[in-house]
């Protein structure tokens, strides 16, 4: 059966994000800054959870991967060596009349002719446009102190290759992982957070012997795809697409995209590339420093090859939001529920007093206080209990706990499961054990 997008229209996600405080347009009170977004109270939790899940599975859970946090502004020679100054370009075409600009290589995403479609409105010849944001280091604005906001986190890893190998006990094969902001002056930034000018990346450069590249490439393709599945993304909306020869960068021997079936069709979520020894060789050439691995058992020196899984954090968040979005009918009543994996859910548990009297709020607050040290929790006493459940469903909270009359009689509370809607009584004294059963942590 052909896979279907979870949500037909991206607008469904953008409006939920605004309404519930996941994601807002940047500087909205000034009309918004297209292509930049802010994460609201729920969104920032999702973002932290996604980054934490990636870090755990990529760095913490492995003996042969270490982390790094390099600066965003780097020596301009980095970008000369990496080829970004000369070649990090997109073809830009512009309407000769109204100056509308689109990417010439993305005509499926952009109009073929100027949408004004009036006399005089026509696109000119494509010209190349460098995507790096330029700025100046220091008060004087001249070519000598021009620096760039990094367009990928990867180069921060390559230039630290010697520092990491000299200061740690890593042995080939090993990885260096990094999360952080990247910036690209994208010509067209539509589709919400899918393509923005400022975004975060989570990248890992996995260094190995040249003859082992194929094996590690196959390994990371599987690992990275499985990561999304383990965090609840439907496998039928994920696929690996191998790049055709003409899509490969000149230094790349193989590259695949993990694609997701977004509301606007199958599109790139993460890239997994064999970068050969291109980057280390180029930095060695431009810096005059050797960037090699010494195999101490054979005294052999060589430049390791690299497999790079490169994921956009914001794109991953858009996938988790889209895939979690569910509309269903309960006893004929519609409900919108975000069925996040518990690790991704912004709030893990909500605590309610049934009444705003008779000691219920105090008891509920006591429970909330005891849980919030361990979980991202929330307390809610406003509106009737049904409305409180709906609010937590839209936020994707897996568990709601309610203090009621019976709590004072037999020390039990109600646990309500977001997905099954089952409500059962549990011992207040067993609440951590019960939460562990539902959440898995």
Question: Which parts of this chain interact with ligand GAP (CB under 6 A)?
Answer: 152, 154, 184, 186, 195-196, 199, 201, 203, 268-271, 308, 310-312, 314-315
Nearer to ligand GAP, 67 or 116 (CB): 67
Token look-up 């520092």 returns 163
In the complex, minimum distance from the CB of residue 436 to ligand GAP, in angstroms, rounded to a whole number? 33
Nearer to ligand GAP, 27 or 136 (CB): 27
In the complex, minimum distance from the CB of residue 331 to ligand GAP, in angstroms, rounded to a whole number? 40
- The residue at minimum Cβ distance from ligand GAP is 312
Nearer to ligand GAP, 108 or 125 (CB): 108
**Nearest CA-CA partner of 394 in 28, 124, 15:** 15
SS3 199: strand
Q: Are 375 and 435 in contact (CB under 8 A)?
A: yes
In the complex, minimum distance from the CB of residue 168 to ligand GAP, in angstroms, rounded to a whole number? 22
Residue 311's beta-bridge partner residues?
A: 202, 270
**Nearest CA-CA partner of 146 in 134, 130, 133, 155:** 134
In the complex, minimum distance from the CB of residue 376 to ligand GAP, in angstroms, rounded to a whole number? 25
Nearer to ligand GAP, 45 or 314 (CB): 314
Peptide bond into 244 cis (omega under 30): no
Nearer to ligand GAP, 195 or 282 (CB): 195
In the complex, minimum distance from the CB of residue 189 to ligand GAP, in angstroms, rounded to a whole number? 7
Spatial separation of the C-alpha atoms in residues 306 and 274, rounded to whole Å = 6
Whole-number Cα distances in Å, 199 to 48, 231, 309, 399? 14, 21, 17, 31
Spatial separation of the C-alpha atoms in residues 412 and 402, rounded to whole Å = 9
Helix, strand, coil percentages for the chain (3-state, nearest 5) = 35, 30, 35
**412-417 and 399-403 beta bridge pairing:** antiparallel
In the complex, minimum distance from the CB of residue 236 to ligand GAP, in angstroms, rounded to a whole number? 20
The tokens describing 424, both together, are 């059962």
In the complex, minimum distance from the CB of residue 192 to ligand GAP, in angstroms, rounded to a whole number? 10
Spatial separation of the C-alpha atoms in residues 282 and 159, rounded to whole Å = 10
Nearer to ligand GAP, 152 or 323 (CB): 152
Nearer to ligand GAP, 37 or 352 (CB): 37
Nearer to ligand GAP, 45 or 270 (CB): 270
In the complex, minimum distance from the CB of residue 123 to ligand GAP, in angstroms, rounded to a whole number? 22
SS3 219: helix
């Amino acid at each position: 059966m052909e896979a279907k997008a979870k949500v037909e229209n991206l607008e469904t996600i953008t409006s939920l994000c605004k309404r519930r405080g996941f994601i807002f347009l940047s500087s909205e009170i000034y009309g918004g800054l297209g292509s930049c977004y802010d994460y609201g109270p729920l969104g920032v939790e999702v973002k932290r959870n996604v980054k934490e899940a990636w870090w755990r599975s990529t760095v913490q859970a492995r003996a042969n991967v270490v982390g790094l946090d390099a600066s965003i502004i780097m020596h301009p020679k980095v970008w000369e060596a990496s080829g970004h100054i000369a070649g990090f370009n997109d073809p830009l075409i512009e309407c000769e009349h109204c100056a509308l600009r689109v990417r010439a290589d993305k005509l499926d995403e952009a109009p073929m002719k100027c949408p004004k479609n009036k006399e005089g409105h026509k696109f000119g010849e494509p010209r190349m446009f460098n995507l790096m944001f330029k700025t100046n280091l220091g008060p004087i604005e001249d070519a000598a102190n021009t620096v760039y906001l990094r367009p990928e986190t990867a180069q921060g890893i390559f230039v630290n290759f010697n520092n990491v190998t000299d200061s740690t006990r890593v042995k080939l094969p090993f990885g260096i992982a990094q999360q952080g902001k990247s910036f690209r002056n994208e010509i067209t930034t539509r589709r919400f957070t899918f393509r923005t000018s400022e975004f975060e990346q989570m990248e890992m450069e996995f260094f190995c012997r040249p003859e082992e590249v194929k094996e590690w490439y196959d390994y990371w393709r599987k690992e990275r795809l499985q990561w999304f599945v383990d965090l609840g993304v439907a496998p039928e909306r994920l696929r690996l697409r191998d790049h055709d020869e003409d899509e490969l960068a000149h230094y790349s021997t193989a590259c695949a995209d993990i694609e997701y079936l977004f509301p606007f069709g199958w599109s790139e979520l993460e890239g997994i590339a064999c970068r050969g020894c291109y980057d280390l060789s180029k930095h060695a050439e431009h810096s005059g420093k050797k960037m090699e691995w010494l195999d101490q058992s054979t005294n052999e020196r060589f430049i390791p090859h690299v497999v790079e899984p490169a994921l956009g954090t914001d794109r991953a968040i858009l996938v988790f939001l889209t895939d979690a979005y569910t509309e269903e009918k309960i006893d004929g009543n519609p409900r919108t529920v975000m069925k996040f994996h518990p690790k991704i859910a912004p709030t893990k548990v909500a605590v309610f007093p049934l009444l705003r009297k008779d000691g219920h709020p105090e008891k509920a607050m006591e429970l909330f206080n005891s849980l919030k040290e361990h979980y991202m929790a929330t307390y809610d006493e406003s509106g009737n209990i049904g409305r409180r459940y709906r609010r937590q469903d839209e936020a994707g909270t897996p568990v709601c706990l309610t203090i009621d009359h019976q709590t004072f009689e037999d020390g039990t509370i109600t646990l309500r499961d977001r997905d099954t809607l089952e409500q059962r009584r549990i011992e207040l004294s067993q609440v951590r054990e019960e939460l562990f059963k539902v959440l898995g942590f």
